[in-house]
Amino acid sequence: MSGCPDCRPFRPDGILGYLGRKPTQWRENKNRPFERGKTTILFGGLTPLRDSLVMAALRSLGENFAALPQPDLKAFQTGKAYGNRGQCNPTYFTVGNLVNHLVRLRDEEGIPTERILKEYCFVTAGGCGPCRFGMYVTEYRKALRDAGFEGFRVFEFDHTGSIFQRSGENEGFLFSPRFFLTLLRAIVVGDILTLRGFQMRPYETEKGSVDEALRRCRAVAAEALESGGALLPALCRCRKILDGVRLDGTKRRPRVMVIGEFWAAMTEGEGNYRLFRFLEEEGCEVMTQPVTARLLVNIWEAKHEAAKRSHLPGEGPFLDPEPLKRYLLNRLGRFGLKAQWSLYAAALGLKGYRLPDVDRLARLAAPWYTLDATGGEGHMEVGHFIECAEKGCADLVISVKPFGCMPSSAVSDGIQSLVTARYPNLPFLAVETSGEGAVNFYSRIQMVLFKIKT
């Protein structure tokens, strides 16, 4: 297996030479300038439905965006082969997925490596924090180098930043407010369609009818997003398509809420062993948190950080115009996101779901989990469980933890053991995904489902 040239196999008779070998210091090189109109911009990491809508929406900006396929087990294995040891599952899946795609371009489609480096790039979200998410971009570049694509351009934007961040400005790829607003619109539409699918699929009278309706809706919405035309009429057409699916509301389905680390609790592929489809095949209705809820958490975290800094000596919130600007942008961002959600949800006929009240969830979690500790889902996992236990909105709560995710494990294995003891009426199960333990994963869930069904 090819890999890092400095990771040569150990030779028993060469220990002195091995120890004396001067290591190569890793250095990240700057991206080469981005050529507009001549570069295919790869991205991915959400679900196939969301990624297809994001691709269509971003193409309306005049650039050739292309979504990567859903990460599979082969992507996980490639990520482990080229990645540093001890990384978390989402890193291995997403990094390996990009490497595999470029290898397919080179080996199956016959595109020379030099042309791939010149005509392709990758865009992803980045950021800082206590978990390994802040290392993603470095992992991408290291794996690409070791796989033979050294110099492949990886652009990142800060997932906690505002729509006015200037990421990529010096490299020719400017993440403008228009880019982020277009991205948000596609994500909200994808979230609502996904939630409608989860609400409908367990009650369909003809197997596959909901998936077929969603496929048609995806085509209608993608066409409207890519053309830049009126989106609301297209969403109303989607509502008619979904309302035309025959459902049997007399069925009794256990409701299972899935929470946990963002990527593992959202992906629909091998990253969580296709958990949602497995639960539906077991006769359950799945309840998940949309990407929009994660964006509301990011807005809350920015507000919480500003509030903390306002209590520091000489750092009052409105002593200079910059904090005031951040405060107003925070309020405007939350209001705009919720307004957009309400509008699109009404057009698509989403009922029985409300975006989480992140302020209330923070208050519920505060006695159990410090709100200053960020990373993973943090206090949100605690807040979601307590709210669900108090309102009785689910029969089971499953927390999905990717192997190697430090914040998620600290919450699910530590804090939640105390919280769940105070709310014994709601079953809670924390399950870990390692990429290769599907049988154990499924069996643990089936044992809990047997209890709640009997």
Q: What's the confidence (pLDDT) of residue 191?
A: 97
pLDDT tens-digit series, residues 50-65: 999 999 999 998 889 9
Give me the mean pLDDT over the 145-160 stretch: 82
Higher pLDDT, 434 or 175: 434
253 pLDDT above the threshold of 50 = yes
Give me the mean pLDDT over the 97-110 stretch: 95
Does residue 287 form part of some domain?
A: yes
168 pLDDT above the threshold of 70 = no
Does residue 320 form part of some domain?
A: yes
176 pLDDT above the threshold of 60 = yes
Write out the H or E segment, with its range, that includes residue 66: strand 64-67
One domain for residues 294 and 304:
yes
Q: What's the confidence (pLDDT) of residue 415?
A: 79
Give me the mean pLDDT over the 232-261 stretch: 93
Domain holding 203, by residue range, is 180-243
Does residue 10 form part of some domain?
A: no
Strand 40-43 versus strand 64-67 pairing type? parallel
Does residue 250 form part of some domain?
A: no
Read out DSSP for 330-385?
Answer: HHHHHHHHHHHHHHHHHHHT--S-----HHHHHHHHTTTS-TT--STTTHHHHHHH
Does residue 22 form part of some domain?
A: no
Residue 32 DSSP class: P
Give me the mean pLDDT over the 153-179 stretch: 65
How many CB atoms lie under 10 A from the CB of residue 16? 8
Sign of CA dihedral 228, 230, 232, 235: negative
Q: pLDDT-derived band of residue 318, with 50, 70 and 90 as boundaries? A: very low
One domain for residues 394 and 440:
yes
One domain for residues 282 and 158:
no
Give me the mean pLDDT over the 354-383 stretch: 86
One domain for residues 310 and 236:
no
20 pLDDT above the threshold of 80 = no
pLDDT exceeding 70 applies to what percent of the chain?
Answer: 79
Does residue 208 form part of some domain?
A: yes
Q: How far is CA 293 from CA 58, 137, 266, 296, in A?
A: 21, 24, 12, 5
One domain for residues 167 and 185:
no
CATH code (residue 146)? 3.40.50
pLDDT tens-digit series, residues 115-151: 999 999 998 876 555 555 666 778 888 889 989 998 8
Question: How far apart, in whole angstroms, are the C-alpha atoms of residue 415 and residue 368?
Answer: 7
One domain for residues 419 and 343:
yes
Residue burial 313-344, b: 16+ Cβ < 10 Å; e: rest = eeeeeeeeeebeebbeebeebbeebeebbeeb
CA atoms within 13 A on the CB side of 230: 6
339 pLDDT above the threshold of 90 = yes
At residue 68, the 3 state secondary structure works out as coil
Which residues, other chains included, contact 384 with Cβ-Cβ below 8 Å and sequence gap of 6+?
A: 257, 259, 289, 356, 361, 397
Alpha helix (H) residue ranges in 60-108: 73-82, 89-107
Give me the mean pLDDT over the 166-187 stretch: 74
pLDDT tens-digit series, residues 212-226: 999 999 999 999 999
Overall number of domains in the chain = 3
Higher pLDDT, 296 or 28: 296
Q: pLDDT-derived band of residue 344, with 50, 70 and 90 as boundaries? A: very high
pTM of the model: 0.85
Give me the mean pLDDT over the 362-383 stretch: 84
Question: How far apart, in whole angstroms, are the C-alpha atoms of residue 245 and residue 117?
Answer: 46
Higher pLDDT, 23 or 135: 135
Q: What's the confidence (pLDDT) of residue 12?
A: 43
Which residues, other chains included, contact 84 with Cβ-Cβ below 8 Å and sequence gap of 6+?
A: 139, 142
Does residue 18 form part of some domain?
A: no
3-state helix, strand, coil in the chain (%, to 5): 55, 10, 35
Asked if residues 127 and 159 have their Cβ atoms less than 8 Å apart, the reply is yes
317 pLDDT above the threshold of 60 = no
Q: pLDDT-derived band of residue 299, with 50, 70 and 90 as boundaries? A: confident
Find residue 399's DSSP bridge partners. Answer: 259, 430
200, 219, 243 - which closes a domain: 243
One domain for residues 420 and 271:
yes
Residue 132 DSSP class: G
Q: pLDDT-derived band of residue 2, with 50, 70 and 90 as boundaries? A: very low
230 pLDDT above the threshold of 60 = yes
Write out the H or E segment, with its range, that includes residue 117: helix 113-119
Does residue 58 form part of some domain?
A: yes
Residue 209 DSSP class: H
